[in-house]
């Protein structure tokens, strides 16, 4: 059976931030498990900063079903975790079960990845302190106020944490995260 990997979402999660890792996980022989506050259908969005706009423009994207709610998750059943971007992290980061799950993955040194606004979840869970991370520049404050160091690069690896700034960086940081997952799977199989 393939190892399971969590993808954390909520309403207004970014479409490309969610679907790119979802399909890369399948390609790598993993079972992506979409997790959210409730087990139901979620509306994703597409985000882009357009010329002439001073804020991010948003369009509706595809919809995606969450296979499991945060309250149902036993993090021991999962090899890694991915924090998708979009507006969702701002709204779901206060969920006590999501904080518990996030802390588990960091504390157990399991492969974690974050893109764009995804940083708001591990920041709220107090797991970015002393860490170097990439994120969308408008989340630099969220990262730094929680003790992290902002790095404006397409791929930042800090131990078990891999991060990118936006969906434009997927081709840069996703391979590094997949490598961590492959190493964790091999180590688990050898144990």
C-beta of residue 45 within 8 angstroms of C-beta of residue 16: no
Catalytic site residue from 117, 168, 170, 172: 117
- Cα dihedral 7, 20, 113, 111 sign: positive
User: 10 Å Cβ neighbour count for 190?
Assistant: 6
Q: Is 172 a catalytic residue?
A: no
Other Cβ atoms less than 10 A from the Cβ of 12: the count is 21
Are 66 and 34 in contact by the 8 Å Cβ rule? The answer is yes
What positions carry a catalytic annotation?
Answer: 117
């Amino acid at each position: 059976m393939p190892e399971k990997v969590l993808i954390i979402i909520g309403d207004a999660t970014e479409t490309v931030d969610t679907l790119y890792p979802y399909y890369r996980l399948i390609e790598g022989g993993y079972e992506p498990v979409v997790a959210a506050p409730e087990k139901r259908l979620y509306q994703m969005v597409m985000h882009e900063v357009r010329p002439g706009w001073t804020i991010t423009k948003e369009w509706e994207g595809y919809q995606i079903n969450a296979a499991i709610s945060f309250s149902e998750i036993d993090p021991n059943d999962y090899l890694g975790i991915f924090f998708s971007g979009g507006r969702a992290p701002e709204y779901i980061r206060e969920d006590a079960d999501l904080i518990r799950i996030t802390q588990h993955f960091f504390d157990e040194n399991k492969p974690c990845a974050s893109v764009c606004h995804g940083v708001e979840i591990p920041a709220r869970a107090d797991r970015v302190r002393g860490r170097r991370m990439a994120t969308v520049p408008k989340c630099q404050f969220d990262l730094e106020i929680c003790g992290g160091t902002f790095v404006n690069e397409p791929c930042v690896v800090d131990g078990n944490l891999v991060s990118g700034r936006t969906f434009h960086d997927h081709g840069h940081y996703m391979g590094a995260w997949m490598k961590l997952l492959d190493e964790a799977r091999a180590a688990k199989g050898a144990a």
